[in-house]
Amino acid sequence: MNRWHMFHTKSKNRHQNAFTLVELLVVIAIIGILVGLLLPAVQSAREAARRMQCSNNLRQIGIALHNHESALRRFPPLGDYVSTGSSVYWSFHTKLLPFCEQSNLQNLIDFKLPISQQPNVAKVRVSYLLCPSEPNDRERPDGPTFTHYPLNYAGNVGLWHIYQPPVGQSTGVFQVNKPTSIPEITDGLSNTLGIAEVKAFTPYLRDGGNPSGVAAVPTLPSQLGTFGGEFKVDSGHTEWVDARIHQTGFTTTFTPNTKCPYVVGDKTYDIDFNSMREGRSTSVPTYAVVTSRSHHVGLVQVAFMDSSVRSISNSIEAVTWRALGTRAGGEVIGE
């Protein structure tokens, strides 16, 4: 065999062993299909892990509530408002800090002074108060020199009328200016909501007064926009230290993840409502609709007052959701 023939044979073999362009494109297409099939499974696994961490956060708060009750014979109030005006008083989360291995953080707080004078506390990120699915895990500036940090777990303040100065009117377990004891929860700890998920940076209306002069519980989400008040585009549930309901509470007026539309210009917001911020008046009552919302699809996670954690579907009946929100409603809860 001459040299030319040997070279020609080797060159031919090299071409036979290489991929053609069509074959390469087919391989790339197959890889793309496999990645497309695997991606939902990976995302599902990640969401399952986030839900588990969220559940653990709720359980930690639920256990802390019981440790607080064991130590002091009561659950903490939503907040204590000892004066009116611009002073904002401290949330129940701040009272639970020592029972969540955060004594050092609580030691920074002077409970006799308002939050506005203690920026070193308000800006702290408390990891167990944040769901890992929350996309807005970030600081919220409040003026040029003050910063707040948000949260995703709020206390059950009942249905609608939450405060008649000077004492709370909550049908839930968290009341204004009044702690709650276990004997007061006659519906049973396992039948009563304690903590539920909320979304950080929720838009809301505030300080519109008594809604249209009527104290009836809203029946339609669209009613909230008609009550009026000052519109805050993104500051609900952004202050873990703040005792007011639009920051650290929720109501059972509407079922989980119910959208409450409010149109501003060409944009529709999903809002909450607070008729009068607690502590701002010595006589005007507070009515509120603060919906439990979650970044988990189709549900919210909650901690009951026995510290058990469950997932509640968006499709739960309103009458059942409201019944779970009362501490002494006498309702019979079905399975």
Query: Does some domain include residue 287?
Result: yes
Query: Does some domain include residue 137?
Result: yes
Q: What's the pLDDT tens digit per position in 50-81?
A: 889 999 999 999 999 999 999 999 999 998 77
Comparing 6-10, 56-60, 171-175, 227-231, the range with the smallest average pLDDT is 6-10
Query: Does some domain include residue 132?
Result: yes
Q: What is the mean pLDDT of residues 268-297?
A: 92
Query: Does some domain include residue 89?
Result: yes
Total domains present in the chain:
1
Of the chain, the percentage scoring pLDDT greater than 90 comes to 65
The CA–CA distances, whole Å, from 53 to 59, 93, 94, 114, 298 equal: 10, 19, 21, 32, 18
Q: Which residue has the higher pLDDT, 43 or 107?
A: 107
The reported pLDDT for the residue numbered 87 is: 59
The reported pLDDT for the residue numbered 99 is: 96
Q: Which residue has the higher pLDDT, 136 or 228?
A: 136
The reported pTM is 0.85
The reported pLDDT for the residue numbered 42 is: 57
Query: Does some domain include residue 155?
Result: yes
Q: Can you give 143-173 as a three-state secondary structure string?
A: CCCCEECCCCEEEECCCCEEEECCEECCCCC
The reported pLDDT for the residue numbered 7 is: 44
Q: What's the pLDDT tens digit per position in 184-199?
A: 999 999 999 999 999 9
Query: Cis ω on the peptide bond leading into residue 166 (within 30° of 0)?
Result: yes
Burial of 217 (0-12, 13-18, 19+ CB in 10 A): middle
Q: Which domain holds residue 168?
A: 45-324
